[in-house]
Structure 1
Amino acid sequence: MSDRFRLTLGQLNPTVGDLPGNAAQARKAWEAGRDAGAQLVALPEMFLTGHNAKALLRKPAFQRDVLTHLEALAAHCADGPALALGAPWVEGTQVYNAYLVLIGGKIAHRVLQHSLERGSDFDAAPISGPFAVAGLRIGAPIGTDGWTGDVAETQAETGAELLLVPNAAPHQRGAMDRRLNHMVARVIETELPLIYLNMTGGQDELVYDGGSFALNPGGKLALHLPAFDDAITHVDLARGAEGWQIVAGDLAPQPDALERDYRALVVGLRDYVTKMGFTQVLVEQAEGNDTALTAALALDALGPENVRQIAPPAKGTAHSALRDSLAELGTKVSDDSLAPHLRGLMLRASADAAGEMLLTAQNKSAAAIGQAAMPGDFNPIKDLYQTEVGDLCRWRNDARRDWMLGPVDAMPAPSQYSPEDSALDGVLRILLNENGTVGDCVAAGYNQQSAREAAEHISISQPQTHRSAPGPQLTAMRAPYPTAARWRDAS
């Protein structure tokens, strides 16, 4: 039995529903592993279908198409290393989140997810045991199976010598530290080396941030891949008197909190545009941090040649004509209330005529208190409070990274936010992020009347917020907003 094992990791970016494209990426990773002498090539959770393919999982035609692609991959990869990748697996009426191991032209092993998140579209399966590749027994806790100890401990007790955790984990603030803590706990509990493999890329409102890593027994970090970047990396394991150890590899520098947020917005915007079939975007040219940051994100994501900015007139004959028409119907409106809607119509017409995606630039604070937003297809700053927009403007002004496609001077000098802006954001964080009450805001030192007004605005603006353009998530999803009455009752 060999005392060396080479594993090729594919930290890659699939597209939901694109089975041919995702299978082509899998073949490319497998060929890289074959050429490097690997025994196993591993890809992340649900890689073949893309993660979050909710609308497709229960469709029989899609299920058959998945199996056809799996069988074709198995045939292609018959002579060379094993290939492990995530895909849905159907047994009768049950649909499982599976990790499938292709060896010798067939699906040789199936690992099925046991622990499910609330609201999961999959069915829960009994805990799967380890599988063997070239004499190495591997346990594979899939996704949330790795967050608690049951699955990993069972796999260790049934003979696993290595834990491989395939995941599709999106960027959220503080998520990398939480992942490391969970995986260190699995290593300590099982005394086994562990490899955590995450995917990359944006899909709708989620941005998968890569950052895959490997831990040796005791919890020492042996490998850390870059955040957000695609990577095909070869990992060596060596067996000694105390069992298998991961040979130390590169520890890629990890971005700080502001850079992680900015990069997530860039990747989310880039992939939403390209995966929707667009190449170019239109951004309103206007004063303020919101449009400045949106334009900078677009430039860094797509390059100057694919970003167009125009400034439609704020007022004019079109405003007056529409205002007069509404007045004839008994509705009195001001030019100021009409302006966002007419600017949006002008921008929409211009974007449609040029085949561009129209970007919205509205921060989370403005949306929460009901400020009118220009309609658009995607809002890159949707999950940023107004003070956070200013912080990222300042960060972008001082930063230059190789992955930025925009010019060095893409960002104009940001305007300063006021103490009132900071206070509003503090109140909104309590009401929205923490699901707190007006009383909680007062206890934190904020003005009671201001907190009441913010709560009322949130309640009134909920329908508009839920209909707004999608945008990258930077914070954990919360339950729907409670009513203003709930906030008042608890104030």
Structure 2
Amino acid sequence: MSLTMRIAIAQNNYIVGDIKHNLHLIQKSLQQAETQNAELLVLSELALCSYPPEDLLLRSDLYDLIEDALQQLAQLNSSVALVVGHPTKEGDLIFNCASFIHQGRVQVTYKKQLLPNYSVFDEKRYFTAGKENCVIPFKGVNVGILICEDLWFPEPARNCKNAGAQIIVSPNASPYYYGKGHRRETEVGARAKENQIPVLYVNQVGGQDELLFDGASIAYGIDGKSVFTANEFEEDFVVFEFDEHLNQISTDRITSQQLHDEAEIWQALVLGTRDYIHKNGMSGALLGLSGGIDSAVTLAVAVDALGAGNVNAVMMPFKYTASMSIEDATAEAEALGIEFDIISIEPMYQAFMTQLAEKFTGTEPNVTEQNIQARSRGTLLMALSNKFGRIVLTTGNKSEVAVGYCTLYGDMCGGFNPLKDVPKTMVYRLANYRNSISPVIPERVITRAPSAELAPDQKDEDNLPPYDILDPILQAYVEEDKSIAEIVALGFDEAVVRRVIWLVDINEHKRRQSAPGVRISPRAFGRDRRYPITSGYGRQFT
């Protein structure tokens, strides 16, 4: 007679540092597990404080809150056993842990063994690595626990299996980037196949500053293939049955349809924007709508994230603004049903120029006058933000941010940038994708040559290579760390490559002052790519 165990997973959207809120979500998940006759509930990594808590881990009072929450969970004396992630402090050492709670107490606490310290991860700044395996006899089944990075390398899973584990449950907080799901299936699926053991991988979901967690929790069979994948970019709750005799895990749920390409990236941007705004206690957003492609896509993301009633846009024309830009911005606002205003920056600009006239005597107009236009718009947007309590969304894409084609305290003004990690060529693809759902971006916004409209007949290509050339160079240099020679070998003109790299290097100071935005690539600006502002490295190649 085979022995089966009902194991539930809760893919919750927690808030970093909000122990009370997170505890409430966990208690609701426990109630749901009880209702569905589950015997074990598994949560994501560091669920009680959420991931990544960063320097909150250095506060001693955090651990008082964590200990109190653990005791509250134990005192529930639920019929469902619980695997819950949390930090633990022992003397001066901090551990990334998962505790097994059953029969009114914490039965055992597992300490994460492998601590990632690359890309967006800083775990060795805070945590000490655990050294012991954790296999728990429960209801006649030996349940092994491994946390996130432990599953990306063979040894912890092998040791867990050798210690008698019949199934591995794994709390995770695995940050999203485009294509991450495939890599998870390859790496984590390999652990299941190598050890002939089912693996239940439970991931966090939700936005946390620049990071996004996509959920998509997975159950792996002993063939290394996914048995079931939970919903992407939203909370989910699933109950599985583990059959000890057949050595397999299954669920009655039909596996969620996974998103791909632009649909996947769109949902990432929507969730990241929504969570940044809502988790910071704001309800609405506003942005400058220029009639260009970037602001059009940003507006559509904002409306999909927050609802039309919570988004405002303002068109801020100047003498260089084309009539089609005003027409298209108006059409976008009407299509999405938002509140929309047109406020000229001409009087503001003239006031600045009047005050500066004496100082500027004898000089020729240059980028200074263009930047004053952009900064007039930034001042106007921030005034509206202060008065009406809505966060300003900046609209610059990754290509512009990379080469500094943006104005500090001008179009860079704002609190969040949904497109910060989206290359210009992808912005166009996203516009077409969103229009396939409902037509909200006029076709000529997509087809017209991009322009900042800060000078007569200005085009982006007056200052930059075409985006279909610029973006691959940026990917090679920024995301892949390729040298000038390696990029030229890909088929690009050496003079163009050198100029692009020079632009990237000299604009680090702008990026340090830019708003956070949703990370969708394996190498985003911010916590992912940390370059010095003051550096002579690039001078060696000029």
Which residue matches 2:499?
A: 453
**1:485 deviation in Å?**
5.6
Match of 2:302 among 298, 304, 328: 298
Which residue number in structure 2 is paired with residue 219 of structure 1?
Answer: 224
Summarize the Cα distance change of 1:372–1:323 in structure 2 as closer, same or farther, 3 Å threshold.
farther
Q: Deviations over 1:162-192 (max 9, x none)?
A: 0111101111121101101112211122111
Tell me which amino acid in the other structure corresponds to 1:44: S
1:454-489 deviations in Å (ceiling 9; x for gaps):
122112211111110000111124543478864564
Partner of 1:55, secondary structure, is helix
Using the alignment, how far apart are the partners of 1:14 and 1:318 within structure 2?
A: 43
Q: What per-residue deviation string (whole Å, max 9, x for no partner) do you get for residues 55-109 of structure 1?
A: 2112111111111111111112x03111111110111111111011111121111
One-letter amino acid of the structure 2 residue matched with residue 4 of structure 1: T
Is the counterpart of residue 80 in structure 1 residue 85 in structure 2? no
Instruction: Name the counterpart of 1:466.
Output: 512
Alpha-carbon distance, 1:132 to partner: 2.6
> Is residue 222–residue 249 contact of structure 1 (8 Å, CA) maintained in 2?
no
Alignment-derived partner of residue 162 in structure 1:
167
Whole-Å separation in 1 of the counterparts to 2:165 and 2:347: 74
User: Which position in structure 1 is the counterpart of 2:434?
Assistant: 396
RMSD: 2.0
Distance in 2 between residues matched to 1:47 and 1:395, nearest whole Å: 34
Output one character per residue of 1:117-156: Cα deviation in whole Å (capped at 9) or x when no partner.
1131211110322123222211111010010011111111
1:273 maps to 2:277: yes
Gaps of 5+ in 2: 319-344, 450-460
- Give how far 1:208 is off: 0.4
Once the two structures are superposed, what CA deviation does each residue of 1:34-68 show, in whole Å capped at 9, x if it has no partner? 11111111110011101010121121111111111
Shift of 1:249: 4.2
Matches within 5 A, 1:71-470: 71-76=71-76, 78-118=77-117, 119-120=122-123, 121-240=126-245, 242-247=246-251, 249-314=253-318, 315-330=345-360, 334-373=368-407, 374=411, 375-399=413-437, 408-413=438-443, 414-416=445-447, 420-470=466-516
For residues 505 and 249 of structure 2, what CA distance do their matches in structure 1 show? 55
Mapped partners of 2:477, 2:176: distance in 1:
22
Q: Which residue of structure 1 lines up, in the alignment, with residue 11 of structure 2?
A: 11
CA contact (8 A) 1:217 1:245 kept: no
Distance 1:165 1:473 in 2: 24
Report if aligned partners of 1:171, 1:474 keep a CA contact under 8 Å in 2. yes
CA contact (8 A) 2:7 2:42 kept: yes
Letter in 2 for 1:166: P
> Structure 1: which 5+ runs fail to align?
400-407
Checking the alignment, whether the CA contact within 8 Å between 2:112 and 2:147 is kept in structure 1 is: yes
Query: Do the aligned partners of 1:292 and 1:412 also contact (CA within 8 Å) in 2?
Result: no
Whichever residue aligns with residue 340 of structure 1, its letter is A
Q: For the residues of structure 2 that align with 1:440 and 1:135, how far apart are their CA atoms?
A: 57
Using the alignment, how far apart are the partners of 2:247 and 2:348 within structure 1?
76
The alignment of Structure 1 onto Structure 2 pairs a total of residues equal to 481
How far apart in 2 are the matches of 1:244 and 1:109? 25
Larger deviation, residues 471-480 vs 377-386:
471-480
Letter in 2 for 1:156: K
In structure 2, the partner of 1:403 is: none
Aligned residues of 2:219 and 2:249 also touching (Cα < 8 A): no
Deviations 1:370-419 (A, max 9, x none): 122421000000001111111111111113xxxxxxxx333333424688
Alpha-carbon distance between aligned partners in 2 of 1:50 and 1:397, rounded to the nearest angstrom: 35
Q: Confirm or deny: 8 A CA contact 2:198 2:247 kept in the other structure.
A: no
Alpha-carbon distance in 2 for matches of 1:479, 1:284: 28
- Give me the whole-angstrom Cα distance separating, in 2, the residues matched to 1:446 and 1:328: 46
Superposition TM-score, scaled by structure 1 size: 0.93
Deviation by residue 1:183-203 (Cα, 9 ceiling, x = unmatched): 221112211111111111101
Give TM-score scaled by structure 2 length: 0.85
Change (3 A) 1:244 1:440: closer
Give SS of 1:237's match.
strand
Cα distance in 1 between the residues matched to 2:287 and 2:293: 13
Query: 2:330 — aligned with what?
Result: none
The answer as to 2:530 corresponding to 1:480 is yes
Q: Distance in 1 between matches of 2:222 and 2:355?
A: 74
1:402 is matched with none
Q: Is the 8 A contact 1:166 1:197 kept in 2?
A: yes
Q: Is the 8 A contact 1:320 1:335 kept in 2?
A: no
CA 1:13 to 1:341, structure 2 compared with 1: closer, same or farther past 3 Å? same
For 1:405, the equivalent position in structure 2 comes to: none
Take 1:301 and 1:260, find their aligned partners in 2: how far apart are those partners? 14
Moved more, 437-446 or 481-490: 481-490
Q: Which residue of 1 aligns with 2:35?
A: 35
Deviation at 1:248, TM superposition (A): 6.2
